[in-house]
Amino acid sequence: MAGKQIPAGVFAIQWQLLTFSLDKHEFYSSRDDVCRGDIETLLRIDAGYKNIIAIEHLALTNELCCASSDGNVWSYKLDTGTTEEVALCQHGIEAMQWSPDQEVVVFVDKQLNVVTMIGSEYEPINEVQLKDDTFGDRAFMSVGWGKKETQFHGSEGKAAAKKQTQPKAKDDVCAEDRPYTCISWRADGEFFAVSFQTPCGIRAFKVFNKEGALQYTSERCQGLYSALAWQPSGQWIAVPQINAENNIVIALFEKNGLRHREIPTPLIMEDQVVSLRWSPDSEVLAVHFYTTHEALDNKVFLYVMGNYHWYLKQCLVWPEGIYDIQWDQRHSAGKTLHAFTRTFFYERIRFDFRVDRSVGHGDDDEAMVAVIDGDKLLLSSFRRSIIPPPMCNEGDELYINAVGFIRSAGRWASVGKDLKQYFDWIEHNTTEPFAEHETIACAEALGSDSVLIELTSGRLMRVEGFTVGQPGVESFSIKPHSILPEFCEQLFIDQQRSPADVYAFSQTRRNLYRNGTLLASEVTSVFLSGEYLLFTTIGELKFVPLGDKLQATTVGERRLERGSKLVTVVSKASRTIFQLPRGNLEAISPRVLSLCLIAKHLEALEYHDAFDIMRKERINLNLLVDHDAERFLAHLDTHFLAQITNVSWLNLFITDLTNQDVCRTMYESNYPGRQQLAECSPSSSGYTVEGKVQFICERLLGAMDSDPTVLTLPKITCHVKQGQLEKALSLIWMLKRDNPTPEPAEEALRYLLYLVEVNVLYDAALGMYDFGLVLFVATKSQKDPKEYLPFLNELKRLDENYRKYRIDCHLKRYDRALAHISRCEAEKGRLQEVLELIDTHNLYTTAIECYRMSSNEEYLRKIYERYADQLRKGGKHAEASMMYERMGDIQQAINSARHALDWRRVLRLSARSMDPEAVRPVFRSLVPALVETGEYDAAATIAHEQLNDVQLAVDCLLKGPRYERALLMVVSGGPEVSELYETIREHLRQYLSSFITTLAADRDQFLHQKGRLAAIREAQEKARLAAAAGGADEGDADGEGDCGDCDLFSDSSTIASSRHTSSTGRSGKSHRSSKNRRKHERKLLNLKEGNPFEDIALIDALHALVLRVCSVDVQNNVRSICQVALELSFDAEAQAVQRDYGALFQLIRYSLDAIWIPEMIVRTFQTPADVLQVQNAQRFALIKPHQRYKPDIQSIAWQWDVLK
């Protein structure tokens, strides 16, 4: 069969089933693997199955629908092998075509009747006669709006009004050898078009909807062919046509039948177009034709549109001829073309888009990109310019099908349309080691003597043992490398690492792999640069650092226009070229690549090149320092200032300085681990990030020439950056005095006025007390002389110190003003002015410093007095006491110390008092105040030592209770206070009884609250289980009463429960008043049974009880009172206290785990998270953070063995 020449035939391909009819007679199929050629006869001629013109595989019922020109329609069941006649057309059949969803089938009989049927039942829906002179249901309407010349003509402009009617072709009826009727469906199955020959001999087509109703008729055009193809996207209907120059073009019609544009082709009138086929994604148009004037017979042209230009990308030649071509409709197959040759060979060809670019890594690489366009190879250099396609820098005149760049700058190799040399090499070297029917899909160089190839099965093979470019290779080795998870159309190899990383990109499924591991999904294009792997998604550009085995995330992202794809990246530069969906180009400089390039320049001490890039791309100039601060400082004068000689650049650099490390903030993606590095390696030069501006400016000023005429503006910028306006003005004033011409100083002042607001600069000049400088600044500004001259004249009449005082007061420099007026103390009447200045601006400490060494003690005493009164009014009694002491008012100092409860200071000051009896009321008033604040020992000390009142001291200690010290004081007091011994015994007996009662109450409270909490949690768990079992509606009904917590969630809480989603979320500070906030907090901590937040309130109460009962102070107190009880023979009471407290302590300790469960620790859940976990986390988030963890109880040795 392989050598048999077959004049005509039809075929259909569906997954791994090939069906065909030869010479329109017998019907055959090839199963399992269509490449093997195992043939099975399905329908024989002797059984009446002949003249088959169309075949369709129906996937739903797994059957074949066959139509014959005689009018018979058969259904062949592939599962059972049975045949059934499902329809009959008495007039014969010209064409049959099923809709894409195989719900509707269209037949055209030999009388040109279009019959639309329901596919599953073969029941007619509608029948329309093509010869009828009707336009369709959507005929155009003319409203008579003027002449054609005055109407709007769209993008074609006014020239369309002058366009002449297309002249008639020479021989329209004989445009093709065998005219036929063609049917083509739109991909969504809503419309189909039928081409036919009108009664007048001109070909046309009509558009129908899926019900078979006529919608449109094409406009009258000469020279149309029979072939017809509707673009799957529905935009155009392609029809071959002979134009006025007798050349064949592909005319593109709109759905309404109007001719829109055309695709020029190199075909001439003698060529015969057989069929047109659109790829399923509407990107490629295949034109099948045969020539009569060349030895080569059948050819297929593949056209692709970009930037409104149609490129002829491939020319496929079959000298033996082919029956037909079809595109594979499966998404996983990509752009796969099926062809059936007349020598009974079946071919499957897959096409994938890729950018043919130069792969050099040096500065001499021109970033060349090659584009195939028919007989031209368009070459564009993107290092020099951005030329939009289809324009280019240069090109080659040659029919080629593929092009590839050699790993040398500016060199490429192309493969001609005959493919002889390429296929000879492939067949000679690679067919034998691989499994049968495996094909090489992609190849990339691993080095100078090895190549990595990918087979269609996804296997990667390493070919070694030859040198690239060396002719006459006879032997080499092939070794398995790895297996990819799926077939990938493109390979990228990072040869700078060892071992080399292999990146694979699947264009069909949009997956990107690194060494077989999924790196990213939804990828649209990939490019491998020197430091990063760049890839795009539908609307973003992302970067992955090379050589990082652990980091799977991107280090930088950038938004792009939707659908943009990578074209190339200029080597040793950051320019990145994208092609947008409509075909035009866009060039950007991604920040990640720019920073990488800048880092290389900085490492090479090429500050000028780095600065130029940063200035053009608006990169923060702090990077010059932060990249390597020690290196920058070491080469500041020898390289940086030597290369950056432009004054404007230096000013820009100094102005941009900030006290932050941009390598840790805005550019941290290019400097991973910079924070840890900075902490581990402190600077040896004293440089710190916090003082960077000050440090760099000082080093720059030290490295610059001391001559004020050299680099004047950068010096001024350094002073201004440090806030040293006075030094900047001094530099300008020096420049004016030392330079014979005023222009340099005036230029420097104009620059300073550009940096600093004029009023601020005027005040700074005034603060230097140099009226010449003040006038120089004022005259160069826009200030009115009437505003400043009277004031300056008034100041000139004053003496120096008072003039400076007035100037400082005017500038609100009150501390300096005080220093100047303090030198005028000899003048009478200045004291009141000084005191008003001190009181108004709270300059007491400054005034003390100014007048401390003064001989006039009156000034100093007045200042102390005013300062002490001010402190006393502010409630700062301890400090006021010290100021009163300094001015000599001891009694007032004692009173202030008494108000501050500083009893030790009162004792010290009272020792200096001349009348001890005068301070006794002070001591007596201190005792109740200290008792009230809980300082029982201090109160007892004053009562005993200063007032000699032992009974008062004992009463203070018993309120503590401080029984041990009270007993000591009674024993050491002598017989006159022995009656207090019984007082202590009676007080201790009552205290022990009360303490035992308190312990019992605390135990009952703890058990009650613990049990209530357990009951609430059990009820909540039952409610959750019931809600889960009863469905969402029942769960919502149960939770209706629990909606009051909407306002209690924190601003950062995430509410996932359905009953909370309607609440208005708040960000930032709360707008609720503090009164309402306290009200809700009381509601949250309400222990009333039935409260929706009772469990939260119980946690709060239990936490407070545990801390109160089990603290170390309480344990020490129990030990102390037990000791005193033993000494006073209260053994039974002491034993009861130790027993009850120990039992309560152990009860609390062993109950903590039951109260503070692990779920109370609110964690962040990864999405998607369990709903129950999220709800629990939201509930426990209402608890105060420190109460979510069980209290840390510390136990000391507080028990007495004699009481156990």
Higher-confidence position of 950 and 1164: 950
Residue 436 reports pLDDT greater than 60:
no
pLDDT reported for residue 678: 62
Per-residue pLDDT averaged across 1050-1068, rounded?
Answer: 36
What is the band of 548 on the pLDDT scale with cuts at 50, 70, 90? low
Determine contact, residues 532/543, Cβ cutoff 8 Å. Answer: yes
Residue 505 reports pLDDT greater than 50:
yes
Whole-angstrom distance between the N-terminal and C-terminal Cα of the chain? 110
Q: Which of 361-370, 638-647, 729-738, 1149-1158 has the lowest mean pLDDT?
A: 361-370
Q: Which of 193-202, 361-370, 428-437, 879-888 has the lowest mean pLDDT?
A: 428-437
Q: Which of 53-57, 459-463, 995-999 has the lowest mean pLDDT?
A: 459-463
Residue 214 reports pLDDT greater than 90:
yes
Structure-token pair, residue 1188: 């979510």
Q: What is the mean pLDDT of the chain?
A: 81
Higher-confidence position of 3 and 1167: 1167
Residue 1048 reports pLDDT greater than 60:
no
Q: Find out whether the peptide bond into 1168 is cis, omega within 30 degrees of 0.
A: yes
Per-residue pLDDT averaged across 1047-1072, rounded?
Answer: 38
Q: Which residues contact 557 (CB under 8 A, 6 or more apart)?
A: 540, 541, 542, 543
Question: Residue with structure tokens 């040659």?
Answer: 398
Higher-confidence position of 25 and 1050: 25
Residue 742 reports pLDDT greater than 90:
no
Residue 278 reports pLDDT greater than 70:
yes
Higher-confidence position of 863 and 831: 863
Top-confidence range, 281-290, 542-551, 856-865? 281-290
Per-residue pLDDT averaged across 1026-1031, rounded?
Answer: 74
Q: Which of 9-18, 375-384, 600-609, 1018-1027 has the lowest mean pLDDT?
A: 9-18
At 713 the three-state DSSP class reads helix
pLDDT reported for residue 130: 92
Domain boundary among 579, 597, 613: 579
Residue 258 reports pLDDT greater than 70:
yes
Q: Which long-range contacts (CB under 8 A, 24 or more apart) does 25-30 make?
A: 25/50, 25/51, 25/52, 26/50, 27/52, 27/55, 27/66, 27/76, 30/346
Reduced DSSP (H G I as helix, E B as strand, rest coil) percent helix, strand, coil of the chain, to 5: 35, 25, 40
What is the band of 156 on the pLDDT scale with cuts at 50, 70, 90? low
CB-side neighbour CA atoms (13 Å) of 1203: 26
Select from 864, 943, 948, 878 the least CA-distant residue to 909.
878
Per-residue pLDDT averaged across 140-153, rounded?
Answer: 61
| Residue 1107 within a domain | yes
Conformation bin of residue 176: beta by default, left when phi > 0, alpha when psi is -120 to 50:
beta
Per-residue pLDDT averaged across 379-395, rounded?
Answer: 86
pLDDT reported for residue 402: 66
Structural domain that includes position 382: 358-579
Please tell me the distance from the alpha carbon of residue 395 to that of residue 378, in angstroms, as a whole number: 5
What is the band of 1051 on the pLDDT scale with cuts at 50, 70, 90? very low
Higher-confidence position of 1060 and 1008: 1008
Domain boundary among 552, 579, 606: 579
Strands of the sheet with 272-278, listed across from one edge:
272-278, 284-290, 298-306, 309-318
Structure-token pair, residue 232: 């799957």
Interval 772-783: pLDDT, tens: 888 888 888 777
**How large a percentage of the chain has pLDDT more than 70?**
80
Higher-confidence position of 32 and 765: 765
Residue 1171 reports pLDDT greater than 80:
no
Top-confidence range, 161-175, 632-646, 765-779? 632-646
Interval 1101-1137: pLDDT, tens: 999 999 999 999 899 989 988 988 888 888 899 899 9
- Helix H or strand E segment including 988: helix 980-1030
pLDDT reported for residue 169: 42
Cα–Cα distances in angstroms (integers) from residue 377 to residues 308, 314, 315, in the given order = 18, 12, 14
pLDDT reported for residue 1082: 66
Residue 167 reports pLDDT greater than 90:
no
Select from 173, 172, 139 the least CA-distant residue to 257.
139
| Number of domains the chain is built from | 2
Pinpoint the alpha helices (H) of 415-518.
420-430
pLDDT reported for residue 237: 96
Per-residue pLDDT averaged across 405-431, rounded?
Answer: 40
Interval 963-1001: pLDDT, tens: 888 888 887 766 666 678 888 888 889 999 999 999 999
pLDDT reported for residue 288: 94
| Residue 994 within a domain | yes
Residue 4 reports pLDDT greater than 50:
no
What is the band of 429 on the pLDDT scale with cuts at 50, 70, 90? very low
pTM over 0.75: no
pLDDT reported for residue 579: 92
Residue 526 reports pLDDT greater than 70:
yes
Residue 105 reports pLDDT greater than 50:
yes
Q: Is the dihedral of CA 1027, 1028, 1033, 1034 positive or negative?
A: negative
**How large a percentage of the chain has pLDDT more than 90?**
31
- Helix H or strand E segment including 482: strand 477-483
Select from 419, 427, 407 the least CA-distant residue to 469.
407
| Residue 851 within a domain | no
What is the band of 10 on the pLDDT scale with cuts at 50, 70, 90? low
pLDDT reported for residue 424: 30
Query: Could you tell me whether strands 459-464 and 477-483 are parallel, antiparallel, or unpaired per DSSP bridges?
Result: antiparallel
Determine contact, residues 873/886, Cβ cutoff 8 Å. Answer: no
| Residue 765 within a domain | no
Q: Which of 38-42, 267-271, 644-648, 903-907 has the lowest mean pLDDT?
A: 38-42
Top-confidence range, 99-108, 459-468, 772-781, 1033-1042? 99-108
Pinpoint the alpha helices (H) of 811-888.
814-821, 830-841, 844-851, 857-873, 877-887
What is the band of 421 on the pLDDT scale with cuts at 50, 70, 90? very low
Domain boundary among 564, 579, 594: 579
Please tell me the distance from the alpha carbon of residue 920 to that of residue 910, in angstroms, as a whole number: 9
Higher-confidence position of 179 and 872: 872
Please tell me the distance from the alpha carbon of residue 348 to that of residue 539, in angstroms, as a whole number: 33
Interval 846-897: pLDDT, tens: 888 888 777 677 788 888 888 999 999 989 998 998 898 888 888 888 889 8
| Residue 674 within a domain | no
| Residue 1014 within a domain | yes
| Residue 778 within a domain | no
| Residue 59 within a domain | no
Residue 196 reports pLDDT greater than 90:
yes
